A and B are shown apart, each in its own frame.
Chain A
């Protein structure tokens, strides 16, 4: 055809020297790089990624805090010795401590002295308490190795045989309750995480589909000029991957920054009332390496999700165009 055009060039064509001055701009992408709906999608992705990362970090913090409660209370056991007229209390306390420490799996033993015992009872019995006047039990706190705990039954038996007034409390009741509470807290956190993730997945899918519906004419034109479905899908995939990486990156980095700033604040304000209160309520703000890894994973999941949704939606659009082809009843009859 080019030879025909060369021999039959119409007279009103511009002169060759003028034409050569016109330069073709760098080829634009087939899918327009930026429009209002694309920016809105990026914002939606950023917000959802931020919320998901925040929830992920918060849940990992709650789990760590619950774990630490459990571990702190199960790290110690208490020997309680009731007063008796025939009993030399100070000797009994020392004997009980030595006996407990003789067992494998114990690491340290502390006798709660009279002053400390009085302080413990101060909220109920007031200041200036003279313990000698009251039959108050005394305590020995034994620290144990959590990984290799001692044989509590044997220790209890040995103590009862040696000091009948002694009672061993391995905190099992409290530990069981705390374990149950920690599990419940972690379960609630996981439930919240699942809900936030589901909301994120659905929001990202619907927002991507909404943005794509505004580009349906591009899919149609590409289809009709002979583009294969895979080519059309890959063009849209590239476009949506860029949008989602920007959005998820912004949201994830913002969440990571929030945790980092909170962690720095907590470490700088150690031993202040504000920090102590925050630590008591939320535990440590540090989410650790695995937390940041989780945030990176959320970003990757969001990007993949958006890209795959774009691909499936484009493929479905092409499928629908072909459905109309095979079933003309799907369009109205005003085409003639």
Chain B
């Protein structure tokens, strides 16, 4: 589904943040992306999310070379990708329900067609009682779960999550992990960027370890 070949990225004239990355993310796969702070995990996720373009190398996504895709086609590609940002990126003036429903709303869907699904997912991530609450009132963990629910709501083909369990307690982290596994079982490829070794130890999954801009993969 996603193929990186000799991908490198640098900011301006600085050193290469990512070097010679060559890997595949197959359909329905599950992997952790880990490495020390500053290794380039967020940058790699941004490359995967099409919010950065590499300075060298080739990226193929959904069978298309992304360097040849016109600008106006990127929204359609992004709709096939779910992303959980490390800083959540929730809109403070919208309720939890409205934030989670946002991807469906921007696709022009009628509210009555998705209301039940959004409420069900919010119940699943433990926010069933917080549907009318605005993000500034939510705790860090609740914001995290709302961001995860927003990324999942339209059944993306691949889910990218940047430290998705960084602000939740261990029981909630396990619960979110089971949600990601369930999603993966239903066909979504999952990439979880995390420092949390205990989280990774709970699942036998591929590990992509970034260190000094280089990537090692342990199947």
Contacts and interface: CB of A to CB of B under 8 A. Distances in A.
Interface of A: 1-2, 4-6, 8-10, 12-14, 18-19, 22-25, 27-28, 30, 32, 217-218, 220-229, 231, 321-322, 324-329, 331-333, 335-336
Contacts of A222: 102, 106
Given A1-B152, A24-B115, 14 more contacts: A1-B183, A13-B128, A22-B128, A22-B132, A24-B97, A27-B111, A217-B89, A228-B106, A325-B51, A328-B52, A333-B14, A335-B17, A336-B17, A336-B38
A224 B39 CA distance: 24
B43 A335 contact: yes
B72 A229 contact: yes
B123 interface: yes
B106 A225 contact: yes
B217 interface: no
Contact of B178 (A2, A8, A231): A8
Given A24-B131, A226-B78, A336 B95 contact: no
A27 B89 contact: no
Contacts, number: 142
Contacts of A221: 89-91, 102
A329 B12 contact: yes
Interface in B80-126: 83, 85, 89-91, 93-95, 97-98, 101-103, 105-108, 111, 115, 117, 119-121, 123-124, 126
Contacts of A27: 98, 101, 105, 111
Contacts of A10: 124, 126, 175
Contact of B93 (A12, A28, A226): A28
Given A331-B11, A336-B40, A336-B42, A25 B132 contact: yes
- State which size class the interface on B falls in: 35 or more
7 A-B pairs closest in CB distance: A329-B12, A227-B106, A226-B79, A333-B11, A32-B93, A336-B40, A225-B103
A225 B82 CA distance: 8
B91 A8 contact: no
Given A325-B52, A328-B53, A226 B12 contact: no
Contacts of A22: 128-129, 131-132
Nearest to B103: A225
A228 B106 CA distance: 8
Given A12-B126, A19-B128, A226-B79, A333 B152 contact: no
Contact of A226 (B98, B106, B121, B126): B106
A28 B98 contact: yes
A220 B51 CA distance: 11
Contacts of B111: 27
A18 B120 CA distance: 14
A327 B51 CA distance: 10
Contacts of B107: 226
B128 A228 contact: no
B107 to A, nearest CB: 7
A76 to B, nearest CB: 70
B182 A322 contact: no
Given A13-B128, A28-B94, A28-B98, A224 B74 contact: no
Contact of B53 (A6, A224, A325, A335): A325
A1 B155 contact: yes
A56 to B, nearest CB: 38
Nearest to A32: B93
Contact of A336 (B43, B50, B98, B119): B43
B64 interface: no
B143 interface: no
Nearest to A227: B106
Given A10-B175, A12-B126, A225-B106, A332 B11 contact: yes
A9 to B, nearest CB: 7
B6 interface: no
Contacts of B126: 10, 12-13
